[in-house]
Amino acid sequence: MKQESEEQQRILVHLGPTDDHDFWTLAIDTLLSDVETELRASSPKTTVYAQIGACSHWLRPHQTRWTKAGGFAWPSGYDGGRDSRLGLPEFDWSVLLHWSKDNQAWQCAKKFIGKRRLLLRAAFPTRTGHHHQAAVHTLWSPGSPTKPREKVRCFYGFRKLSGKWKAIAKEQLTL
């Protein structure tokens, strides 16, 4: 089994008894791996952060669904565009990570440094120990490393199949 990084441990320590540790480990690895691939392909000149947190209050108006890979509850929240499908999930807690260009690795950060930065905001659902599927909401602001002037929203879908979590869907949505 792969050793958890210090950054993962800083995130996982916040999990409650109803949160599935295996889901969180896989989801963090999946998300940060995708970001690292994009960073290496684009090598942005600005500072890059990832804010990873948990949301326990997701909005699900009129049974709105994200239909990819058999369907998930649409992962939106109450922050920002309230009562709309574009609302941001509000964090119950979050951990801030900074991409170190020198070490080519994530490091924990206490606060943002500098004015120009790219931020990946990722909201993971809570109570994953009670469910067999989960959708993660991400938003790059003001843009992603490959599209620094364009907000990029992406959903990740995970399912627990035969007792093991798997990443089964990913979709970038146009804003």
Residue 3: half-sphere exposure toward Cβ, Cα within 13 Å? 2
Confidence of residue 29 (pLDDT cuts 50, 70, 90): very high
| Lowest mean pLDDT, pick from 40-44, 53-57, 79-83 | 79-83
Decide: 122 and 49 in contact? Cβ < 8 Å: no
- How much is the pLDDT for 103? 86
Provide the pLDDT for residue 138: 95
Asked whether the whole model's pTM tops 0.85, one would answer: yes
Q: Is the dihedral of CA 38, 22, 155, 77 positive or negative?
A: negative
Position 21 pLDDT exceeds 80: yes
Structure tokens at 150: 């364009």
| DSSP codes joined into one string, 116-154 | -EEEEEEEEES-GGG-SEEEEEEEEES--SSSTTS-EEE
Whether the Cβ atoms of residue 124 and residue 117 lie closer than 8 Å to each other: no
C-alpha of 76 from chain center: 12
Alpha helices by DSSP H, listed for the chain, are 6-12, 21-42
Give the percent of the chain with pLDDT over 90: 59
Residue 43's pLDDT is what?
76
Q: Is 26 in contact with 8 (CB distance < 8 Å)?
A: no
Backbone angles phi, psi at 49, to 5 degrees: -125, 155
**Would you kindly state where each structural domain of the chain is located, as residue ranges?**
1-40+108-175
Residue 34 — pLDDT band, cuts 50, 70, 90?
very high
pLDDT, residue 8, reads 85
In this prediction, residue 114 carries a pLDDT of 81
Q: What DSSP designation does 87 have?
A: P
The chain-wide mean pLDDT, for the chain, equals: 87
Quote the pLDDT of residue 83: 52
